[in-house]
Structure 1
Amino acid sequence: MRTIRVGSRKSLLAIRQTNLVLDQLRQLHPDRIFEVVPYTTKGDQLQDVPLSVIGGKGIFVTDIETAIQQGKIDMAVHSMKDLPAILAPGCTIGAVSPREDVRDCLVFSNPNWSLANLPSGSIVGTSSLRRTLQLQRQRPDLVYRSIRGNIDSRIEKVKEGQYQAVVLAMAGLKRLGWQGGRDIFLEPLSLDICLPAVAQAALAIECRQEDTEILDLLATFNDKQVAQCVAIERQFLSLLQADCTFPISALAQTKGDGYVLQTMLASPKGECHYAQVEGKQVNTLASEAFTKLKEAGLRGLPNVENSNYP
C-alpha cells in the first residue's frame, strides 16, 4: 500500500492545519500511512513585499500545485482562501474541511482598547485591502499599515508597540491556540463590520483529477455542506477574475433548505458596496449578487491587474 505524500507550507499554521486534516484521515483510514512534505512558497519567501506588489494569484500555492502535477506529492492542504478561482491544470479540490470561525479579529496589547475606542491615529496592521477598506468605514481616523509575516510575528509587533492593533483571521488564531486574555486581547469583528474573504476558515485538500484512489479516500472526509457554500463563494470570485488580494468578500451560509450569499466589492475609489441574495438555485446565486452590485453602480468592474485602488 502506497505512502500518501501530503504537501504543506512550512509555516506553523500551515503544518497545524495539515495535521488537523491528517488526524481525521487517520481516524477514518487507520491502515493508511501519510507523510507531510513541507514547501516554501513564493509568498513565504518574500515576506517584506506587499502581496499586491508580488501578484496575488497563487503565490502561496503554485509551487505546491506543480508538485501535485508532477506526482511528487499526492495531495496538499491549503487555506482555501489562498486558492485562485482557477486551479492548475489537472488539479481538483478533493475535499473541504469543516469550517472554523469565519470572522476577522482585531488583536490588541491593551485590554481597554476596541475598534470603537482605539485612539485616533493608532496604527493598525493588515496586508488585506479588503479589511482596510471595510474598517475605514468605521474608523477613517486610524492609520492602516501593511504587515507581513506569520501570526506569531505579527502579534509580537503589537506587543512591542510597533502597531496598536493587527487584523487576523479568527480561524488561524483558534487553530494555533491564541485565546487572548493575558498579554494580548481579541475583538472578533461582526460580519456587518468586516465581511470575510472568499472561503475564509475552510481548508481545501487538493489532488490530481485522475487519482481515483485519493479522491475516494478524501470523499470520506469531505464536508458537503461547507463544500457547497465555498463553491458558491468561489463562483463569485471567478466572475470577477479575482483572487485573495482583491477587495472582495463573499460568505454563503445555509438558510432553511436554501442558501444566503453576502458579498462585498470595493469600487476603484475605495467605496465598499454590499449585496445579499438568497435562494435554492446554488448555480445562480453568485451571478445574482454580481448583477446587484452592477445595478448599484459598480459598472466596468476592473480585474486584479487593472485595478487602481487607493
Structure 2
Amino acid sequence: MQSKLIRSIVYWVILSPLVVVILFPFGVMFVTAVRPRDELFVFPPTWWFSEFRWGNFAEMWVKTSFGQALLNSVYVSVMSTLLALALSIPAAYALSRYRFPGKGAYRTFLLMTQMMSPIVLVLGLFRLMVALGMVNNLNSLVLTYAAFNMAFTIWMLQSYFNTIPRDLEEAAWIDGATHFSSLIRIFLPLAVPAMAVTGIFSFINAWNEFVLALTMIRSSDDFTLPVQIYSQVAGRYQVEWHHVMAGTVLATVPVAIVFSWLQKYLIRGMALGAVK
C-alpha cells in the first residue's frame, strides 16, 4: 500500500507541469470571462480583480446571439455523429466479418483519408455544395462532417468488432435469428463502448470545426459556435474580450457534459478495443 501511494505521488509530480500547461488557458479564459470590463487590461497582469461579474454571461448571450449559435452547433454535431455511426456500423461489421475483393484496398483508402486535412478539400467541397444548392445550409455541414468522421469511426469500430466472438452470432443463427436481427439484438449491445468512443470523438470534431463552417455558412443566423465567437473578434474596431471569453467558456460546457456522461464507456471501449 505504501509503495502504491509513493508511486502515485511520483506520477502526479511528474505530470503536474503538463496539468498546469493544459489548465492554464482555461484559467485565463474563465478569469477574463468574469472580470469587470475596465479591469481587463491592467498592467502588470494579475489573477485578482474587484468582483465576479456573472452578468457578463447574460450580456454576451443577448448581444452575440449565442443561443441560436448554440442550437446550430448542437444540431450539426448530433446529426453528423448519428449519421456517421449509422453509415459506419454496417461498413465496420462487413470489414470485420466478411471477406470480399478489395477489402485490403478499402482499408488502405480509409487510412489515407485520415491523413488528409479538410482544408485541402474546402474549394472542392464548396463547389459541390453550390451544385447541390446547399450553401448556407446547416445540412451541408452535417453531410461534410459525417463524411470526414466516417473513416475514423469505421476504422475504430472494425478493430473493436474483431474482439467480439463469432460464436455468439452463430449461436443466434442456429436459434433461427437472421443476420440482421443478430446484429441488432446481440452484436450491437456488446459494441456500445466502441460506439460511445467513436461517437465522442465524432461529436467533438464536429463541435470544434471552424474552416468548413466559415466557408459553407454565410448567414449569421446559421453560424455555429466557433464561427459566432470568431465573428466577435474579426473585423471589430473594439473587441469585447469578456464577452468573447464568456462565450468560449459556455462553448466548452456541452463537450464537457458529453465527455463526463460517456466517460465510463470511453475507458471501457478504449481498453477492450486495444485487445485482440
TM-score (norm 1): 0.27
Q: Which structure features the higher share of strand residues?
A: 1
Higher RCO (CA < 8 A, seq sep 6+): 2
TM-score (norm 2): 0.29
Q: Which structure features the higher share of helix residues?
A: 2
